[in-house]
Structure 1
Amino acid sequence: MEMGGFWLEKYIAEGGGAITFAQFMALALYHPEHGYYAAQIDDVGRAGDFSTSATLCPAFGEAIASWALARSHEDFPMNDFALIELGAGNGQLAESFLTAWRKNNGPAVPYIAIDVSTRLRPMLAARAEQVGFLIQDNLPAALAAANGRALIFSNELVDAFPARQLCWDDNDWREVGLCLEGGALVEEILPFTDAVDAEAPAEPRSGQCIFIHPSYHEWLRSELAHWHHGRMLTIDYGAARPAAECRAYLGQERREGSEVYKQAGQQDITCDVNFADLQRWGEQLGWQTIFRETQGDFLENWLSDAASRAKIDAVLGFLMNPFAAGGAFLALEQRR
């Protein structure tokens, strides 16, 4: 059985013979003993199972620093705020951000990095000591240290929240679950009775599946309850419509379909994000939407000489290309 061992069997048995896709994703990524982020991930970037824009190109962090510096002048003229990075990984974004921030005379305010991976924490701690930033275990603690005043940003955070997979079947939405069959995980259609706030296609076709992130919605409402003033920048895979893409990464190899269910706990799993949901959820909390744009447009707007630099930097060109990463990722700014 290619499930990373037999440890999932008991959870499936306890679930009545089936678990939802969201439960599978939560276990595969965050189980304290067998989950990918707790037991398997070694690094992020070329030496790891997957790369991010921040690990591919320091100009990405430079652009976010430019955004943060401009917003700090607008919102915090007394410099009474903190910079908070969510999902900081191995600290590469923190390093490129702070290099640009200090070069451009950004104020000496706390930079607080947060990441849930115990495997990445030693690398993050080493970089924190070398570069000079703080680490907190969770967002409420970071916000408490900042008195609720912060510029918050993340890159590829939301797509790792456990997503629920829904499928249109018999003129109704059903939930996709997983059961064991012949020693392998196979999909099983389950009833979907919960009321969740997430967008769905107006005219779904038979068999159409989507991924929604109510777990992130709950996280927003609980973890940001003590955020009083500032901006939040979210950059991730996705579009402004219901998401239909899910994939896993193992040794830089992209895996899709049934391959996502194999080797649970040994590979990363991510699902595309519906930015229309993120925007609406923030507005329900009283936040103002400032912009929602492609990653390419974000880099064009916030990175100095972006177009000319992209012509001589192939990686930056890839991150800005609307037919590559520049269009596959969106950036959302919200203000509280």
Structure 2
Amino acid sequence: MAASCPEWLATHLQQAGGGVPFSRFMDLALNEPEHGYYGAGRARIGPEGDFVTSPSLGSDFAALLVPQLMAWLASLSTTDPVQRLSIVEIGPGEGHLARDLMTQLGEADPALLTRLEMVLVEANPGMRQRQQLLLEQVDGLPVRWCTLEQLRITPVRGVVIAHELLDALPVERLVWRDGSLQQALVELDPNAALRMSHRPLSVGLRDEINRVCGHAGIQLPPPHAEEGWTTEWNSSLPDWFAAMAAAVEAGVLLVIDYAMEAHRYYTAQRSEGTLMAVSSQQAGLSPLDQPGAQDLTAHLCIDVVDEAAKRHGWVVGDQAKQGEALLALGLAQRLHGLQQLPGQQLAEALQRREALLRLVDPAGLGGFRWLTYRRGLPEDGFSLSGAQGCSESRRD
């Protein structure tokens, strides 16, 4: 179905000859500096916005995360007792997590605190301005903004957080058609509206898919896939992990996102893939509608993420579902503590209780995966709370 095309996007498509791969369309819709959803600072994150994130529900998420970060930082400290340590957030969104972490870390070990800094890596000027506004009144930890390129010039030692970031990297849409996988395109129709079309895979994309699938044991398309079966392929991951490897001298990378194993991701039953367009708390909208005014996101395939990480020198670590990780970090005790609040704080207690339960709801945020990777560090001292022995299968 055709969708109206704004003039700014039509200009980009015309300059590209009338059509682009879906990944390029997604990149423009999200990151175009003047008109993109994130690039222009149009994203609205929180209960009153387009979608909620764990940090946007309140400060309890950060409070629960702090002990995990401090355990990793303490282990990092023993490997080099004088070097500055960094907590790096890539793509900080509204800045909610950074604000709450800075506040909570003010009560941390003073000796370690004097060596800590908060580094926010934000590529989009519109979002960076909103983060700076939110954090300008927050004390407790030095904070600086930089680009990923700047971080690569002076690599850090510490913990890197990628929270709901990788699901917004531009993806290719693959379609099983006429006995072969084809690449989805977004193009202008004769009426200058947007429509989807397809073309054979380029040699480079085909070879990349074959290589990764061979290493990870993935079959594309899966058995019994019917004509029109559609999925996503994230070609951005290798470059992202390579950039992160150059930016981190030694440290732990924590990825928090919607993710699933290949045997669940690439199945004949998942015939429309995982791509979602989200606006005003509604999902399932057409990805071609209102480019720049809605979020576009695709789940991660854990096997593909792991392969990209290992290819660029990251050691695959533990994983856990968010619900399991937060319960291991004390969420149940925090819920119990709400019962001790005085009666005049009943409304606050009820609001926080609802938020905490949403964080572990297996049908929602509790189903997020926490995936860990490390580089330049020994194996001991960097385990993930709530991990259920999943790391062994990820290291194979």
Structure 1 length as normaliser, TM-score?
A: 0.89
Quote the Cα distance in structure 1 between the aligned partners of 2:276 and 2:333. Answer: 30
Map Cα deviations across residues 3-41 of structure 1 (whole Å, 9 max, x no partner): 462222233334343211101101111112221222251
RMSD: 2.5
What's 2:366 paired with? 326
Secondary structure (helix, strand or coil) at the match of 1:110 reads strand
Question: 2 CA distance for matches of 1:16 and 1:191?
Answer: 17
Q: CA deviation at 1:307?
A: 7.8
Where do 4+ consecutive residues of structure 1 move more than 6 Å?
none
C-alpha distance in 1 between matches for 2:238 and 2:24: 16
Distance of aligned partners of 1:166 and 1:126 in 2 relative to their CA distance in 1, 3 Å threshold: same
CA distance in 1, matches of 2:293, 2:88: 29
- Distance (Å, rounded) in 1 between the aligned partners of 2:149 and 2:9: 31
Taking a change above 3 Å as real, the CA distance of residues 101 and 144 of structure 1, as seen in their structure-2 partners, is: farther
Partner of 2:163: 155
* 1:264 counterpart (263, 285, 291): 291
Question: For this pair of structures, how many residues does the alignment match?
Answer: 332
Instruction: Provide the residue aligned with 1:314 in structure 2.
Output: 354
Deviates more, 1:119-128 or 1:304-313: 304-313
1:335 maps to which residue?
374
Deviation at 1:171, TM superposition (A): 2.7
Between structure 1 and structure 2, the one with the greater Rg is 2
Deviation at 1:140, TM superposition (A): 4.0
Residue 124 of structure 1 pairs with residue 153 of structure 2 = no
1:52 and 2:25 matched? no
Structure 2 equivalent of residue 112 of structure 1:
119
Give runs of aligned pairs for residues 45-124 of structure 1, distance below 5 A: 45-77=46-78, 78=81, 80=83, 81-105=85-109, 107-108=113-114, 109-124=116-131
Asked if the contact 2:55–2:62 (Cα under 8 Å) also holds between the matched residues in 1, the reply is: yes
In 1: Cα distance, 2:76 partner to 2:41 partner: 40
Structure 1: distance between partners of 2:102 and 2:313:
30
TM-score w.r.t. length of structure 2 = 0.77
Is the 8 Å Cα contact of residues 247 and 270 (structure 1) preserved in structure 2?
yes
Gap regions ≥5 residues in structure 1:
none
Map 1:1-336 to 2 at 5 A: 3=4, 5-39=6-40, 41=42, 43-77=44-78, 78=81, 80=83, 81-105=85-109, 107-108=113-114, 109-132=116-139, 133-142=142-151, 144-145=153-154, 147-181=155-189, 182-193=191-202, 194=205, 195-197=207-209, 198-199=212-213, 200-202=218-220, 203-204=222-223, 205-206=225-226, 207-241=228-262, 242=265, 244-256=273-285, 259-305=286-332, 308=335, 313-327=353-367, 329-336=368-375
Cα distance in structure 2, aligned partners of 1:252 and 1:322: 18
1:152-187, Cα deviation, whole Å (9 max, x unpaired): 012110011111111122332111112223443221
CA gap of 1:127–1:183, structure 2 versus 1, over 3 A, is same
Deviation per CA, 1:34-76, whole angstroms, max 9, x where unpaired? 2122225154213432221111132222232221101111122
Cα distance in 1 between the residues matched to 2:43 and 2:164: 17
- Bigger drift between 8-17 and 52-61 goes to 8-17
1:213-271 residue CA offsets vs partner (Å, 9 max, x unmatched): 11132122134324221100000122122462111222232233xx2101111111111
